[in-house]
Amino acid sequence: MRRKKLSIEKENSKLIFSDECIKISRNEKNYFFELPNGITTDIAEAVSMMMKTLSNDDKIWNLSIDNVSDCVPEKSLYWLTGGTCEWETLNNYTKPWCICCLDFQKEFGTTIVNIVEKAKKLSDIRDSFNRYLDLPTLYDFALSKSII
């Protein structure tokens, strides 16, 4: 049902960015990200997905953002901790995401919400993720919880 609601809301939106693989639209309430690895309205999730594929000098990072309403930390944490490659294969993790996500969210959820609330551009979110939620930080936490 979520997919249908998302498409109805997107019909009333305006395209604000487009290139060969990414489209971003916006209505009064939400951003809509159409990315190679998924569609989302969660700006933190979109940034964490784009960090894996885009260079730091890509023009999309200069996009200004405001009035961000939706942010579900577990979505971005999924991608920041390795995404589908890590959580489907469990090459490095000892437990599946559905068991670990609450631990990650309790530890880092507030940080993600604060990062998004303070951001003025997509690059602000990316840079804060790189500074406060880099892979060594996330892996150290996972080690402390015996998740790795």
pLDDT at residue number 57: 93
pLDDT tens per residue across span 27-82: 888 899 999 989 999 999 999 999 988 999 999 999 999 877 679 999 999 999 99
pLDDT at 1 over 80: no
Rounded to an integer, what distance in angstroms lies between the CA atom of residue 73 and that of residue 91? 23
pLDDT value at position 70? 75
Host H or E run for residue 40: strand 38-40
pLDDT at 9 over 60: no
Question: Please, which residues have CB within 8 angstroms of residue 79's CB and are 6 or more apart in sequence?
Answer: 45, 48, 49, 51, 52
Handedness of CA 56, 60, 63, 69 (dihedral sign): negative
Q: Are 39 and 50 in contact (CB under 8 A)?
A: no
- How deeply is 27 buried, as exposed, middle or buried, from its count of CB atoms within 10 A (0-12, 13-18, 19+)? middle
Q: Residues 14-31: what's their mean pLDDT?
A: 90
Binned at pLDDT 50, 70 and 90, residue 11 comes out as: low
Q: What are the b/e assignments for 61-78, b being 16+ CB within 10 Å?
A: beeebeebeebbbbbbbb
Quote the longest CA-to-CA distance of the chain.
Answer: 46
Residue where the block lists tokens 């500074």: 131
pLDDT of residue 68: 78
Position 145 scores a pLDDT of: 95
Give tens-digit pLDDT for 87-137. 999 999 999 999 999 999 999 999 999 999 999 999 999 999 999 999 999
Residue with tokens 């009333």: 12
Q: Domain residue spans in the chain?
A: 2-144
| Higher pLDDT pick, 12 / 44 | 44
Nearest to 107 by CA among 80, 79, 142, 72: 142
10 pLDDT band, cuts 50/70/90, is low
Q: Which two tokens stand for residue 116?
A: 């998004």
Query: 147 in helix, strand or coil?
Result: coil
